[in-house]
Chain A
């Protein structure tokens, strides 16, 4: 148990750091992340440019800071979209039951039958490869997982006495749903949303790496890795730092997610 709280703390610190850097990027970066400098092309890390410069002489640290902002923003909007849509669908499906539930879940399960980022790739072809295309594509692709989890929680909750009590007291279905069922679904929603934030950041960087994400020159960790790839032999830092940022972010989310799951998911309580 102690180890898990400690790990959760490390995760929390990593994520707090990410958010702080993303926030900082709104106001300040060491250099202009877009400013080209032909005299400082592919400069190694130094006192002047802490993490070196890229093939256009742009400061890598400044671009990573702006990239953090892009990752956090895309992750936040994606998770919000999936959480809101998925929760609504899950609530309706779990509460209505009958044929409404059957139809919604048939479609939902079919969407879950698309592996990994495949559905997101297909949706990107529809929305176009840009920042908002990614958010919609990933948000829609993640919605079915959220809907399934919320529906499961609703189905087990609605048989409980306090829901019965609320109805006997004369509360409307809508009131019961919002006041009693939804708050009790928040734990599984939080656990899943935390993992989703990680999936979104990873998928965004993967799509940007493929050239289907945020188009250059706007910096994201994924497109910085893709752009730096041809130069990694002379300029190792171009391949090193953006990937390190993604890995540390994901590590933070995984550690935080494990700790949250231990704390919030009652099924896991007996295990530790």
Chain B
């Protein structure tokens, strides 16, 4: 068990290093001089040179990378060019907003979609199966930003049940804050259900063909025992991995949802930073989301033996 954990941790290390190099390199490729940009159009060449040395831009690239990497390790992600605030503080506060939406949505979607997928597989090629798979494929095909817009139009504007614009933190006002979260969470739940139903169905189908299922049925177990005690336990692994991937993908792609519902989350922070060419913030967001994705997948991997102890033995 310990070897399994250490092995997985060790495997994540090179990924983290190369991800950091990629993020660093990406920002250096952006055309334009950050120093000149920070000082504005009226700056003297001498001022720009001074700013460059202050930012460390006059050093060689490997040196710059090491300095930057060292700072990141101590929690110093630099300061926003636009607002002057520390990037880490900005990223963490916006991340909290995005994370609550994503976590709740993925949890609810799994709760509905996984049983639905298992039942579809159990009733393969029946009307139930066709209806579930058909619905899942349609849900999968609806872009989240359009779905969000339609839900906003219906529940917000036509029925007037839910707020349309703005955002209140649940820390400040629990009930009011929750109202703002209903539509974005609902949008993501509906969309991710499509992916998860199909995944849960496919992995259950694969297990249901195996001999031990026939054996379980032959010895007279009830269908529900066969399905949930025997098949589901073995079939959940791939779906569990998929849930981890979805979590990470949502963190990376949440900008559109946050734009539809005007939520001040991490995605919106990054898109605004791209508009304003706020390099340290772009860099911070990229690094933070990529590293959380690595972390989420690591946690998913480490918890995998809970559902399928066989992976430890391999």
Contact = CB atoms under 8 A, between A and B. Distances in A.
B26 A126 contact: yes
Mostly, the A contact residues are helix
Given A233-B153, A239-B149, A255 B137 contact: yes
Nearest to B270: A121
Contact of A123 (B26, B130, B140): B26
Interface range for A: 35 or more
B253 interface: yes
B250 A254 contact: no
Contacts of A270: 209
A109 B256 contact: no
Contact of B150 (A3, A126, A239, A254): A239
Contacts of B274: 121, 124-125, 129, 212
B155 to A, nearest CB: 13
Contact of B143 (A205, A229, A233): A205
Interface in B249-274: 249-253, 255-256, 259-260, 270-271, 274
A110 B130 contact: no
Contacts, number: 140
A110 B282 contact: no
Interface in A108-128: 109-111, 113-118, 121-126, 128
Interface residues of B, number: 52
A174 B85 CA distance: 55
B146 A247 contact: yes
A225 B23 CA distance: 31
B145 interface: yes
Interface in A143-195: none
B206 interface: yes
Contacts of A81: none
Interface string B104-144: 00000000000000000000010000100000011011110
A244 to B, nearest CB: 8
A250 B271 CA distance: 25
18 contacts: A109-B18, A113-B294, A115-B249, A115-B253, A115-B289, A116-B248, A118-B252, A118-B253, A122-B26, A202-B143, A212-B271, A239-B146, A243-B149, A248-B141, A250-B141, A251-B138, A251-B141, A271-B209
